Amino acid sequence: MHHKRNTQDISLGGMRVFSDENFSVADGLDLDVLLPDGSAVRVWAEVVWVRELEPGGLSRFEVGLKFTDIAGPDLQRLASVFSSAP
């Protein structure tokens, strides 16, 4: 099953996402991170924290992820997005 999550605060080490799905710390995820050009990079991540949000908000949970594996070419593509950001 594919879920789209709103990504915030992304870096080469991890990211914060908003999700309606509740995760547990240490859950492993494989994700496609969409880049501004419409392409995607595949990352593997581990949940490091979960915070339940107030009802009626953007989503039910805020989730902190630490990247555990990214293929070399995908890491370079992700890094190039950060280096070209204003």
CATH number, position 57: 2.40.10.220
> Contact, 11 vs 82, CB < 8 A?
yes
Residue 72: band (very low, low, confident or very high) from pLDDT cuts 50, 70, 90:
very high
Domain that includes residue 63, residue range: 6-84
Q: Is residue 71 part of a domain?
A: yes
Q: What is the pLDDT of residue 2?
A: 45
Q: How far is CA 67 from CA 9, 48, 56, in A?
A: 13, 10, 29
What number is the average pLDDT over the span 21-46?
93
Over 70: is that where the pLDDT of 78 sits? yes
Residue 77 lies in a domain: yes
Q: Is 24 contained in some domain?
A: yes
List the structure tokens of 58: 């953007």
Q: Let me know: does 6 contact 17? Beta carbons within 8 Å.
A: yes
Quick check: is 76 in a domain? yes
Total domains in the fold of the chain: 1
The answer to whether position 1 is within a domain reads no
